[in-house]
Structure 1
Amino acid sequence: MKTVLISGAGIAGPTLGFWLKAAGFEPTLIERAPALRSGGYVIDFWGLGLDISERMGMVTEINRVGYNVREMRIVNDRGRRAAGFGTELVTELAGGRYVTLPRSELSRLLFEKIKASAEVIFDDEIVGLNEQPDCVGVQLKHSGERQFDLVIGADGLHSTVRKLAFGPMQQFEKDLGYIVAAFEVRSYRPRDEDVYLMYGQPGRMVGRFTLRDDCTLFLFVFSANDDSLPSTLDQQKNTLHRTYAACGWECPSILKELDRTTELYFDRVSQIRMSNWSKGRIALIGDAAFCVSLLAGQGSALAMISAYVLAGELAQAGGRYQQAFDKYEARLRQFIEMKQRGAERFAGALAPKTRWGLCFRNQVIRAFAIPGLAKVAIGREMIDTLRLPEYDFRRQHH
């Protein structure tokens, strides 16, 4: 039991590669993009995700590339503050350790930790899996046939490994009824350093966040009942124009910026719910196994937790991979299901579908100023009930 093919070089894949390498395995990372992805959106990072980063010796770097957001501010049509809260509240709930950073930066830092010690294949993908008694035959699009002891899908919401091994996405996808889009621009004005601004109309939200190097990130979340996603960049832009045409605040300027962008993240907000995360010699981690939805804001931390636990269980199982897969799932399933339930509630709070819902949401946020209330309202979602297991990664496994 030595060779492990990991599909996906986002967050879960490099984390798994790092810990498998520490346990004496030989990981190979395959990523269908030609290089690491840049841009995208920012994530809030705290709790167990930071604990694992600390064990990987990355916290200093994470704090260097991260942002310390001071305030989450909801504005009205004229840009005036309608509600909001200071993030010291969130920091307190997270035990004083809380940082916001671009997802692509976290991915890059994780990749730096593994690139010199593992085989990495960019611009290629798995097109066939054929499990045999003693290995998995893997058909690669460009590199032909290879054999590995195990194959792990760390390839996100639209996982190819999941599709090939378990069946089409529709079987496992739970659509939460929203679409999310994000893009970055340079030289946008105004800039509000370390403030996350949100503007909403019923069923629609747009957020603005100021990044370094004169960049600004825009995030759209809107309700969508149509199953079909626009597939081309132009169709996606048209959808955003239609949805936000009548909105106030800076929406006209933001839509002008949208017209100029060539890189747009655009996807459904959905969860993946599976009864099993493994099958034979093939297993799934992170969003591929249990996407909680982008809006939960914890996908990256959960991806790292699942990678760490799976690697730890494989390290302990001494080659009995089925036992390792079962224990990995047993340790995490309840915790993940709780996060998924919380994420469903959160999606509705970010872009309420009615005027009344918007008013209620703003009232709740105003009430966060009352000591102790925020702890009751969001403490349960923020505080990780899971304890990270301690594994001995120094053993060699054959």
Structure 2
Amino acid sequence: MQNARILISGAGIAGQTLAYWLARHGFRPTVVERAPHLPRGGQGVDIRDQAVEVAERMGILSRARAAATDTAGLRYVNAAGHEVARVDMRRIQRRFNSADVELLRGDLVRILHDAASGEAEYLFGDSITALHQDPDGVTVDFDHTATRRFDLVIGADGLHSVVRRLAFGPESDFVRHMGHYFAFADADPSLGPDTWMTMFNTPGRMAGIYRSGTSPEAKAYFIFRSPELPVDHRDPAAVHRVLTERFAPETGWHVPQLLAGALADPDLYFDALAQVHMPSWSTGRIALIGDAAYCASPASGAGAELSFLGAYHLAGALATATGNHHTAFPHYEQALRPLAETKQKIGPNVRLMVPKSTLGITLRNTIARLPLLESTTGLGRIMSPKTTTPLHNYEHPNPTRC
């Protein structure tokens, strides 16, 4: 098989899934990850539709279900903490006979790592600094590891992909700001009821807390409307300043306690809600998967689904083409682009979570109490099965280590 040595940048959902399937098809994957270790906790992510079948074929579905968050639904409260509306997610799942699995991102990444780690090489605490490709391969420079040579390089390194920047061009060419910023961090579990996502709105802002039914921990969430800001999401001081400016004036409900906890959390996450739109997901021997190529924004609820399916189709296309990237990369893109574009149309529904006016908040709460909720908010489009064609089977003629 040609092109057996494949470097994957990013040990998240897309990168770990890709490493598993490449090894399964006989390739030799190496995964480089900027973080020194696997993440813990994190926000909830959903394995949906055909991604459920991919997880089952990987043999991890039972573990994922055992780690599921058991979310009951969404609660909207007023400044005094009184519930003004709720969304029963379990009822909606029963309505659509949903097989979806929601679990914390860190739990899913660890499950995937357990499945792939025996077959892949890992370089934690390192990152790519330069890529030099030629007709025979790609020379890769790292922050810490000595320069190495690979046959192919795959960027699975998220919205702010280093591989995309080095191989395709500046982030501004491909990332579209969606008019909102998002943050989450550890929270005091006593501030919210178990298994519920509780949210409090003021015009253009939302603060909330979520407690999983399977974890003693809780997460605080913050979303606010804003044009693009000159803030580096990796600069703690800048992030603290922005969150303080936006949420410190709010004294209703538990916002002060949630904000104080978030600012004290060293793992506070902050970023723009954004999408990635690219005319092509590959250039020469370098390709992208997951958020690096087609981020639909967290508001779509489709990040894990697209990561699973992108990794599955890319590895399968390479196996079918016996490693010929000239054939495999276009086939992978053809298989996944229609789904990615569909999911990106769902993303703007975040506006219903963060109405821009007091009237909008009142209307949203009224809608949430009505039977028409699913069709009005788009939850039906998100949670109901979409794909009627069977998941393609990729079989390499001789799936042994190359």
Same fold (TM over 0.5): yes
Alpha-carbon distance, 1:394 to partner: 6.6
- Of all paired residues, the percent bearing the same amino acid is 36
1:391 to 372, 391, 394: 394
Q: Partner residue of 1:64?
A: 66
Cα deviation per residue 1:182-230 (whole Å; 9 max; x = unaligned)? 0013x54234111111111111111211145532111111112242125
* CA–CA separation in structure 2 for the residues paired with 1:219 and 1:59: 27
Q: How does 1:239-388 map to 2 (within 5 A)?
A: 239-247=242-250, 248-344=252-348, 346-367=349-370, 369-370=371-372, 374-375=374-375, 377-386=378-387, 387=389, 388=391
Alpha-carbon distance, 1:66 to partner: 1.4
Q: How does 1:1-398 map to 2 (within 5 A)?
A: 1=2, 2-92=4-94, 95-185=97-187, 187-211=188-212, 212=214, 214-229=216-231, 232-247=235-250, 248-344=252-348, 346-367=349-370, 369-370=371-372, 374-375=374-375, 377-386=378-387, 387=389, 388-393=391-396, 395-396=398-399
2:40 aligned partner, one-letter code:
S
Alpha-carbon distance, 1:111 to partner: 0.8
Alpha-carbon distance, 1:291 to partner: 0.6
Alpha-carbon distance, 1:267 to partner: 0.6
Taking a change above 3 Å as real, the CA distance of residues 80 and 94 of structure 1, as seen in their structure-2 partners, is same
* CA–CA separation in structure 2 for the residues paired with 1:356 and 1:213: 36
Alpha-carbon distance, 1:85 to partner: 1.6
* CA–CA separation in structure 2 for the residues paired with 1:353 and 1:292: 22
Alpha-carbon distance, 1:21 to partner: 0.8
Give secondary structure in 1 for the equivalent of 2:327. Answer: helix
Cα deviation per residue 1:4-36 (whole Å; 9 max; x = unaligned)? 111100100010011111111111111111111
Alpha-carbon distance, 1:241 to partner: 2.4
2:286 aligned partner, one-letter code:
I
* CA–CA separation in structure 1 for the residues paired with 2:34 and 2:397: 31
Question: Contact 2:98–2:383 (CA<8 Å) still a contact in 1?
Answer: no
* TM-score (norm: length of structure 2): 0.92
Question: Contact 1:39–1:183 (CA<8 Å) still a contact in 2?
Answer: no
RMSD of aligned residue pairs (Cα, Å): 1.9
Alpha-carbon distance, 1:375 to partner: 4.9
Question: Contact 1:129–1:164 (CA<8 Å) still a contact in 2?
Answer: yes
Question: Contact 2:177–2:228 (CA<8 Å) still a contact in 1?
Answer: no
* TM-score (norm: length of structure 1): 0.93
1:281 aligned partner, one-letter code:
R
Instruction: Indicate the larger mover: 188-197 or 327-336.
Output: 188-197
Give secondary structure in 1 for the equivalent of 2:379. Answer: helix
Instruction: Indicate the larger mover: 231-240 or 50-59.
Output: 231-240
Instruction: Indicate the larger mover: 47-56 or 306-315.
Output: 47-56
* CA–CA separation in structure 2 for the residues paired with 1:33 and 1:285: 19
Give secondary structure in 1 for the equivalent of 2:231. Answer: coil
Give secondary structure in 2 for the equivalent of 1:107. Answer: helix
* CA–CA separation in structure 1 for the residues paired with 2:85 and 2:319: 49
The gaps in structure 2 that reach 5 residues or longer are: none
* CA–CA separation in structure 2 for the residues paired with 1:309 and 1:94: 26
Instruction: Indicate the larger mover: 130-139 or 204-213.
Output: 204-213
* CA–CA separation in structure 1 for the residues paired with 2:228 and 2:66: 41
Taking a change above 3 Å as real, the CA distance of residues 227 and 256 of structure 1, as seen in their structure-2 partners, is closer
Alpha-carbon distance, 1:38 to partner: 2.0
Instruction: Indicate the larger mover: 83-92 or 306-315.
Output: 83-92
Alpha-carbon distance, 1:296 to partner: 1.6
Taking a change above 3 Å as real, the CA distance of residues 274 and 384 of structure 1, as seen in their structure-2 partners, is farther
Give secondary structure in 2 for the equivalent of 1:189. Answer: helix
Taking a change above 3 Å as real, the CA distance of residues 29 and 49 of structure 1, as seen in their structure-2 partners, is same
* CA–CA separation in structure 2 for the residues paired with 1:94 and 1:285: 29
* CA–CA separation in structure 2 for the residues paired with 1:379 and 1:395: 42
* CA–CA separation in structure 1 for the residues paired with 2:96 and 2:14: 22
The gaps in structure 1 that reach 5 residues or longer are: none
Equivalences, count? 393
Question: Contact 1:45–1:301 (CA<8 Å) still a contact in 2?
Answer: yes
